[in-house]
Structure 1
């Protein structure tokens, strides 16, 4: 724009800004232009002050003194401007000068914002070429489920997101490069990447973003994983971290077992398992120790899994009594038994993974309720052909049935049970609405365990 045009534009701005009565008109026209993206449309003003009536009547050469509302098209304003001493200047340029900003249309502003966002994430993709980083950034660019918080934080707290993105992408790059057998504890991993041991805590903003990234990666890399189906709540998070080589909790997460031996990665027998096997000792194995086991073995290649600690101890008591009666105390190890203490923890599943890998058959007994059937089905899915529902027949249910009424909410969980093996029991539970407990079939469970012991003697 030439200097004389700039001077005229400045004078027009000074005039319309200093003359009372034009402020609302210019604000309404700016909003209209932004909404339409072009110089078109009309604005309507109501509840006039005297200075507004006077100013508008003068500019548009019309009598607005008796009007309750005035509708002015943007084109009419441009034509009226041409009839003033400011003719030749752009009505849009004047409007932008008065508003003090470039009046991009809403669509243009959105397009500009999206281009800036795309540039930001494209630059990150160049900086972090590792496959995990690329997969996650691609999910963000496609606005896939699980990335909404990233989009929101970009809009509201960009500077914070920029730091978080570099931390999370650095974490994904490190995970991508790790040795397959290397495990790192979450606080140590966070300290290495962010300089803060709490940097990836699940309840922190950055920790939540990392979790979202890991969930997206897990869904893309593993599709539907029975391991994930077998976990809920905190255990699901523990498994998710572990699947990427990060240990969240390796002490409180444990499994109880007896009658099991194992070896380390160098094929050397683990002495503590061997000695516990010989001395008929029950162990509470924390996840920290389970991950050290490379191969696990059960005598007779059969392991019996119960979720109730009382039933587990009762079976061991019956085993001890049987051995005393038969004079076998010094020569018979405990039968291979595992107790999960309710819902599966990662330690339980990893131990069963290692047993299954050695060809062990897994017999699972739980309560006759929606939770017990769901746990049984999860093992059937996880170990097809190797997991067996142990005493989950209608006859067993009749022996175990109680007067405990199952709520409609709990019965609804049975919708997810689809294994043919469990179908008759599922229908029976839906019909009676009564729970059954495995303590009622303890003698039958013991008969199976005793028979397996006798076959090994």
Structure 2
């Protein structure tokens, strides 16, 4: 199509909406045809339509345009040697395609993109993650697809960085490394894997995928995920409070734990210190875990060298790491918490984690009745009870759903003390 002819259409603004409508109709139908509708016609559009269809459009506010008839009208002009498709392609400067063709081309390009990345991961630790992305099964797949549409080059760069991270996770060397240090090693930037950045989210989803987890969202779940990979997030403010336990580094007793034990002192251990511990033992082969600090200190007043742990509500990563170490030694874990939906949820979570070594401590309906307060539980909180799975908690769940009142550990403190009164605590390990 010569320059003068295409310039004719481009110089007349009235053709713009007509051609755009025909192009969209072609994309939908896959051929020239159908009807398009224009509203709020301009004077120039009215003039063009009048000339093409040989009727007066000057008073029309809108028009239904038969595309095939419009194409035929071109045969009565100097453009008779051009098809409407040729005119549209020259006008828009691109090949006219259908929606199906565009989708097929998009899918083929996207498939090639991820196949190339998959090939780059052959024989590497990151191969599992890349295979999951290729199969659209990776955690965070929706966001990965959105990033592909937004900026596939930036996505490719981040995926390759995360692949290097997966190949070199500290856990493979038995190390614990802080996130900024690990990020510096891989990306040369301490903020390269910061949480809630594009690349940081990609690393989190990759870790979830290779560890067989769904997406983790709470700060504690994220901290535990990274810890399993050998990456430390917050190892100072994340601490656990305990007493009566002995820790070891290799075959040697940890001096901090040892000093606290023989001094009969409470010990607050940050994750930083726990990450250097190889094993933890209870002299009694048992450990008593409570939810509330007031209960923890009251119990300590009654018995020296008591193997006791306080979670301060929902267990932090430091509490779980400590209990994991005790569990590894076959320690019997006794847990007592509040009688509310959140408290039962904690008990249920710990039960599922330490099943054969876990014991519900004072979790009967009678205990619940003694611990009962006047606090009415909302329907929103009661809804949490639906997720409780432990059979041992079933009667309490039913009773709490009926009564709709919370109960607290502090109200059964005498019973807890009585349970511990027969326990002999020895200094010798």
TM-score, length basis structure 1: 0.84
The structure 1 residue matched to 2:90, chosen from 90, 97, 119, is: 97
Could you say which residue in structure 1 is the equivalent of 2:255? 271
Could you say which residue in structure 2 is the equivalent of 1:32? 25
The 10-residue stretch of structure 1 (401-410 or 183-192) with the greater mean CA deviation from structure 2 = 401-410
Shift, 1:242, TM fit: 1.1
- Tell me if structure 1 keeps the 8 A contact 2:246–2:280: yes
Taking the aligned partners of 1:74 and 1:359, their CA distance within structure 2 comes to: 79
Could you say which residue in structure 1 is the equivalent of 2:161? 167
Secondary structure of 1:214's counterpart equals helix
Could you say which residue in structure 1 is the equivalent of 2:34? 41
Taking the aligned partners of 1:64 and 1:71, their CA distance within structure 2 comes to: 14
Structure 2 unaligned regions, length at least 5: none
- Tell me if structure 2 keeps the 8 A contact 1:303–1:362: yes
Are positions 1:288 and 2:272 aligned together? yes
TM-score, length basis structure 2: 0.89
Are positions 1:303 and 2:287 aligned together? yes
Secondary structure of 1:342's counterpart equals coil
Taking the aligned partners of 1:20 and 1:367, their CA distance within structure 2 comes to: 73
Taking the aligned partners of 1:430 and 1:356, their CA distance within structure 2 comes to: 32
Change in Cα spacing, 1:25 to 1:407, as seen in structure 2 (3 Å) is closer
Taking the aligned partners of 1:248 and 1:65, their CA distance within structure 2 comes to: 70
Taking the aligned partners of 1:385 and 1:419, their CA distance within structure 2 comes to: 13
- Tell me if structure 2 keeps the 8 A contact 1:125–1:133: no
- Tell me if structure 2 keeps the 8 A contact 1:250–1:288: yes
Taking the aligned partners of 1:361 and 1:407, their CA distance within structure 2 comes to: 34
Taking the aligned partners of 2:171 and 2:240, their CA distance within structure 1 comes to: 27
Taking the aligned partners of 2:43 and 2:239, their CA distance within structure 1 comes to: 81
- Tell me if structure 2 keeps the 8 A contact 1:22–1:56: no
Deviations 1:103-132 (A, max 9, x none): 222222232222222222222222233665
The structure 2 residue matched to 1:347, chosen from 299, 318, 325, is: 318
- Tell me if structure 2 keeps the 8 A contact 1:253–1:287: yes
Larger Rg: 1
Secondary structure of 1:451's counterpart equals coil
The structure 2 residue matched to 1:63, chosen from 55, 61, 65, is: 55
The structure 1 residue matched to 2:183, chosen from 166, 178, 190, is: 190
The structure 2 residue matched to 1:421, chosen from 373, 377, 392, is: 392
Change in Cα spacing, 1:388 to 1:158, as seen in structure 2 (3 Å) is same
Are positions 1:156 and 2:150 aligned together? yes
The structure 1 residue matched to 2:208, chosen from 202, 215, 231, is: 215
Are positions 1:373 and 2:344 aligned together? yes
Structure 1 unaligned regions, length at least 5: 1-5, 321-333
Shift, 1:48, TM fit: 5.3
Deviations 1:369-403 (A, max 9, x none): 11221111222211122110111122222332222
Taking the aligned partners of 1:109 and 1:437, their CA distance within structure 2 comes to: 62
The 10-residue stretch of structure 1 (194-203 or 342-351) with the greater mean CA deviation from structure 2 = 194-203
Change in Cα spacing, 1:394 to 1:98, as seen in structure 2 (3 Å) is closer
- Tell me if structure 1 keeps the 8 A contact 2:306–2:425: no
- Tell me if structure 2 keeps the 8 A contact 1:39–1:75: yes
Taking the aligned partners of 2:11 and 2:407, their CA distance within structure 1 comes to: 85
Number of residue pairs the alignment of both structures matches: 426
The structure 2 residue matched to 1:390, chosen from 347, 352, 361, is: 361
Are positions 1:120 and 2:113 aligned together? yes
Could you say which residue in structure 2 is the equivalent of 1:402? 373
Change in Cα spacing, 1:380 to 1:149, as seen in structure 2 (3 Å) is same
The 10-residue stretch of structure 1 (353-362 or 141-150) with the greater mean CA deviation from structure 2 = 141-150
Shift, 1:169, TM fit: 2.7
The 10-residue stretch of structure 1 (188-197 or 78-87) with the greater mean CA deviation from structure 2 = 78-87
Secondary structure of 1:453's counterpart equals coil
Shift, 1:299, TM fit: 1.6
Are positions 1:412 and 2:383 aligned together? yes
Shift, 1:25, TM fit: 3.0
- Tell me if structure 1 keeps the 8 A contact 2:283–2:426: no
Change in Cα spacing, 1:87 to 1:399, as seen in structure 2 (3 Å) is closer
Could you say which residue in structure 2 is the equivalent of 1:313? 297
Could you say which residue in structure 2 is the equivalent of 1:323? none
- Tell me if structure 2 keeps the 8 A contact 1:356–1:383: yes
